[in-house]
Structure 1
Amino acid sequence: MQVEQMQLIDGKKVAAQIKQEIAAEVKNMIAAGKKQPHLAAILVGHDGGSETYVSHKVKACAECGFKSTLLRYEADVTEAQLLEAIAGLNADPDVDGFIVQLPLPKHIDEQKVIEAIDYRKDVDGFHPINVGRLSIGLPCFRSATPQGILTLLERYNIETSGKHCVVIGRSNIVGKPVAAMMMQKSYPGNCTVTVCHSATAHLKEITRTADILIAAIGRPEYVTEDMVKDGVVVIDVGTTRLPSTTTKSGWKLHGDVDFEHVAPHCSYITPVPGGVGPMTICSLMKNTLLAAKHEIYK
């Protein structure tokens, strides 16, 4: 059976609306004599994906009326030099929030870098203090991709309370935080959450019971038609670049879901690209605004 009315969740459209809302708020802040929000980013090396993400973030800052600073380092930067740059941003009163674009070169300890960031400026929501506060439902900077997912569910008025949400993937960036958010006693949330991963037995039997399926495993087209039930809401977090002869760039972005065959069974589904991706950057902008207003940490 196929669902009669499948609706595409347009992350690009929602992100554009939210950026307009942020820009209007920033205009009012500046008119009231308040400081312009300022987001900084540290980019190490020349990874294609990271370059693209950071350029999108700089562009989004301009759209939202933020000031942005990009600090670039070559791939051979030492850990000590990077930690020094982070200390500088922590101490700069003009910088409201900053991010260190991941992944980092192998000789740098990512966890050490994350923990060096002042949690009050950690707009990526990766610092253990923000992660811990998230897990017990306290105000914090929420990890951008999971927050983007929840915003999409909210903007499309998708019912979540009492639903079975299955998350495929247990990363610290998406899987774990989105599972924590979806089980909180709030909307969107209040779900019964199952987290599946590479060692999960009987995966298909579990995913077929999902009312909401969040695929964040990083394997292209991993979720197939026989893994979903009719009427499911599918959120595809995957962004794998695969070679393509049909695009100018020579590559094409693929999600974790076999969209063509899964979509007909869904009540709602996010496309790749244009689904969760634009919302991630949008959530980062929202976190920066919160940091500038000192709404979470006074």
Structure 2
Amino acid sequence: MEFSEMTEKTIYTVVESHTKRKKIQSRTPNKKYEYATEKKRLERPHKNAGFHSHSQPRIQASPQIDRIPEHDMNKEFRAASSGCIAAVILGIICFILLGISTFFATKYFQASCKYQNMLDNDTQEYENSMVNMKNKCFSKDQLNSEKYGEARKNKWSCCGEKCYYFSDRHKNFEESRKFCINLGSRLLKIEDKDEQEFIQSLVSYFYWIGLSRKGIISPWMWEDGSLMHYSLALQGSNVNNNNCVYTTATKVVAALCTKQVFFICEKNYTNFDLKLSEDK
């Protein structure tokens, strides 16, 4: 009995040992099997294999140095946007300034043209009025009027663009010239035949006029420095030392400058304060 019990224990122990060994062996990893299984798993196609197969190499292929940080891209975008906005604003300002300049230039041109037209009209009206007055004063019906007496009383007689002062004192040529200068005028300058006839119709004695020369070989010149263009049919000009000129009612004569005679001053009508009316 004891022997049988020992035999059973021995058999149980052997079986148990064998069972434990199998369990231990089953738990021991089979490296070849695991490698084959892992290889099959990797070779098995995945549903997202297309995405990973294309995207993964692309990410790995782009070097890290070529990637621009996001904050740098934003900074560059903001800088470019600011430059565009500044350019647009500058263009608008230039356009506005150009419009303002064009507007004022147009207004200035229009005002200049208008002012020039007004000036031309005023000048033309003034010239027409002066011509009318001159023609009236120098007409034959006025030459025989009583203006001579009025002129002698008032000293000044105005016709057309000029006013004339008829002296009532005898002076030599130089004294007469200085007297006219003190009046803000100068000795008479006869510019045409009408004026000569008008002056000669108002005088009956000798009167110095503003024509003289420095010597017999020098040209005749008026007090304003101009040469004698209108021929006065001057008498006595070939005589030496006859370097000054006076007029009478009928002739114009060269004489000695020391001769004591009356004289005639002239002044521009626009600068004359005392304007005698045409009825005087």
Q: TM-score normalized by structure 2? A: 0.22
Q: Larger C-alpha radius of gyration, 1 or 2?
A: 2
Q: Which has the higher contact order (CA 8 A, sep 6+)?
A: 1
Q: Could you say which structure has the higher helix fraction?
A: 2
Greater share of residues in strand: 1
